[in-house]
A and B are shown apart, each in its own frame.
Chain A
Amino acid sequence: MKKIIAGGSSNATGLQVALPRTHLQPRRSTRLLESEGLLAGLLLTPTVVLLGIFIAYPFVMGVWLSLSNTSVGNPGEFVGLRNFVKAWNDSIFQTAFWNTVYYTFFATILKLALGMWLALLLNRHFRGKRIVRASMLLPFIIPTVLSTFAWRWMFDPTFSVLNWLLYRVGFITTKIPFLSDGDYGMWCAIVVNTWRGMPFFAITLLAGLQTISTDLQEAASLDGANGWQRFWRVTWPLLKPVTLVVVVFSIIQTFSDFQLIYVLTGGGPANSTHLLATYAYQVGVATGLLGEGAAISLFMLPVLFIVVWVQLRYLRRLEAA
């Protein structure tokens, strides 16, 4: 019996040699799947379709509506920038625009400051840390409408439990007009937004804090740095990229906030707490002027674009450094 030796050099004629089957073609479907371009296209298609349906189409429709005089039941015609000009000259729009800037600015500052403070606290070791961390997320988990209703009852103009409490302990003699005064109403909304958004800041910053090596802190301590110096010189520079990302997210969400104001004040009293989103809703959906409503909401786009662009540019510069 001949021994089969693959690749043998001697007595080659008497040997069976196993060689690669170069002449056999792979199946067509296999070949198609091996094409990287095609596979990438296949994998991306569902995402592109979903983004197209749920993001691109509504956005394009929004742009079209803003350039038309569409109202409820009337398809409308192209009117150019007329809706934007009309909105810009509208005193309620101007109020809503500045309210939105004011609300976003102060709510973001407060969320950042309190979120950072909470993250630093939670980064320490103490008993029950896990329970505290989990419960901290509660405001973020409860649906906004529900929690805002609870706040609305607490701020109720007639039966406010806060007024009752403050009166009972002797801090006030007359009711605080939580929601019936424009300025108070706006600050109530900022407080509720801060309460709700702070956990997002805290948990993200906490994640950032945990990536910072404790060796750096210890080294700074050995060099004689106090608590503030350690935070300012070591923690903050390393936490800055995470902070910027969180702030960008928060600005986008707060600037386009709707539910909270809609439930808490409905934009009142006398439009003094209207934001762009709530005013756009009132004009577009409640009043049925879809074109004008779309134009009002699109005013958010350039503002957010500039803010996000500046912040991301700064972030890139930080990373490069």
Chain B
Amino acid sequence: MTTPHGVNRRSFLTTTGAAVGVAAVGLEGILEARRAPALAQGTKLHILRWNDFIPACDVELKKQAVEASKALGAEVQFEFVNANDLQPRITAAIQSQNGPDIIHMLHNWPHLYATGLTDVSDVAEWQAKDQGGFYAQSEAYSKVSGRFLALPHSIVPGLIAYRKSWFDEVGATSFPKTYDDLRQVGGRLKKKGHPYGQTLGHTFGDAPAWAYPLLWNFGGMETDKNGKTVIDSKGSVEAVKFMSAFWKEACDEGGLAWDDTNNNRAFLGGEICATLNGASIYIAAKRGQEKIKDDKGEPMVRDIQHARLPAGPAGSTSYHTAFAHAVMKYTKNQKLAKDFLKWFHGQGPYGRWFEVAEGFSVGATKHWERHPLWNTIDEPMKGFRTAPDNSRTMGFAGPPSAKATEVYSKYVVVDMFAKGAQGMKAEDAVKWAASELQRIYG
């Protein structure tokens, strides 16, 4: 029997069955039924992310948006902005209770924006189970008061990219193991016109990724385990003293005005011998090897190696930028947003994006350490596979908190080193940072 609207008993039962299936098994049901839930149809899902340093990753996400739109029955749209513009966008969105449904979170931002974010513990629990558990850093940054307020997505590890042949020329056949060795080798390289490149500017990634571990590796700490300010210490002073000397003797002093892109350009332009960075320099050199050549006319990529940060008197730790996705509390598409995240962080779509990233971004879970990509990847890239294992979190030795995010957002630790590099006495730079931290932590 067919109704006047063309619905017969069979199609009615099929549609109803699909709808019941959706209700019963959620996303799996949607995918199996190959049909979007009626409620999601005509809905838009707006996701705000950073401009990836691997542009192909954003191209892949645009493809996935089409796929996700079909799977979820909603129009999935990505918007990409400069990472330095994300925080203002988040503040504006939360205050106006309007904006993207899902926003990219860097570092420990979920702690700062906690009141504006939805609890996604259920999806996080699924992801951890599905993909072998989160790295400690990713979990600590996304989990606020026992609840996941963002879903850990990836980590961009920072290693030092360096020109092997130039280091060989000054007698450093392997990368310096300590900061003091790096200072000596860097000094020799600068004299030959190949300075070390490091930003100490107000920029989101490379500056804190250098400054925080430098503080820790000399024994300095932002706070103690109870969150009390302890930055005014011998370790901090020694770290700033190193920075001042290293800056003059080994670094490109223009780095005080660099953002996260300047060191990439300087390295690929043959202006610097080494820089702390994600794998984007290597990947850009590889993809553009027809144009990006070294001083002998050979593809520069063949001369690039990576190394971990050297050790200081207190050891060798690193800081790697963690990324997550947060569902905004104000969005009316709560379920759809969570369904999307489950789809997006699922092994299929995530795996495709991960492969395009070629090691620039690694997983937030250990599962991705075992991805076949690592078996075929170039030798200099292999260090990125397990790089996040020695990362500490901002606010160390205290727990990640909104206060630690405030310190980061005001660039207090970065500026402490920048002041030293500008010539301020190390003790005064540390005292300045201590007073700023005191005002923040109370």
Contacts and interface: CB of A to CB of B under 8 A. Distances in A.
Interface of A: 72-74, 86, 89-92, 156-159, 175, 177-182, 185, 265-272, 281-290
Contacts of B114: 73
Contacts of B253: 177, 180
Sort chain B's interface into a size bin.
Answer: 35 or more
Given A158-B269, A268-B257, A74 B88 contact: no
Contacts of B50: none
Tell me which of B113, B262, B410 has the highest count of chain A C-beta atoms within 10 A of its own C-beta: B410
A285 B93 CA distance: 11
A-B pairs, 8 with minimum CB distance: A157-B254, A73-B115, A269-B256, A179-B257, A270-B418, A180-B256, A287-B409, A180-B257
B16 interface: no
Contacts of B265: 158-159
Interface stretch (B30-38, B39-47, B347-355, B431-439): B431-439
Contacts, number: 115
Contact of B418 (A159, A269, A290): A269
A179 B202 CA distance: 12
A279 to B, nearest CB: 9
B288 to A, nearest CB: 17
Contacts of B91: 72, 284-286, 288, 290
Interface in B162-215: 200-203
B254 A177 contact: yes
B435 A91 contact: yes
18 contacts: A73-B94, A73-B95, A89-B439, A90-B436, A90-B439, A91-B432, A91-B436, A158-B271, A175-B254, A179-B257, A180-B254, A266-B203, A268-B202, A270-B256, A287-B410, A288-B91, A288-B409, A290-B91
A270 B266 contact: no
A294 to B, nearest CB: 12
Given A72-B113, A158-B252, A159-B265, A282 B271 contact: no
A72 B95 CA distance: 6
Contact of A86 (B200, B252, B269, B439): B439
B422 interface: yes
A283 B436 CA distance: 13
Given A268-B201, A268-B257, A269-B422, 7 more contacts: A73-B116, A90-B439, A177-B253, A282-B409, A285-B92, A287-B406, A288-B90
B131 interface: no
Contacts of A72: 90-91, 94-95, 112-113, 115-116
A175 B254 CA distance: 9
Contacts of B439: 86, 89-90
Nearest to B410: A287
Contacts of B435: 91
Contact of B88 (A159, A177, A181, A285): A285
A265 B257 CA distance: 7
Contacts of A177: 253-254, 256-257
A321 B244 CA distance: 60
Contacts of B90: 72, 288
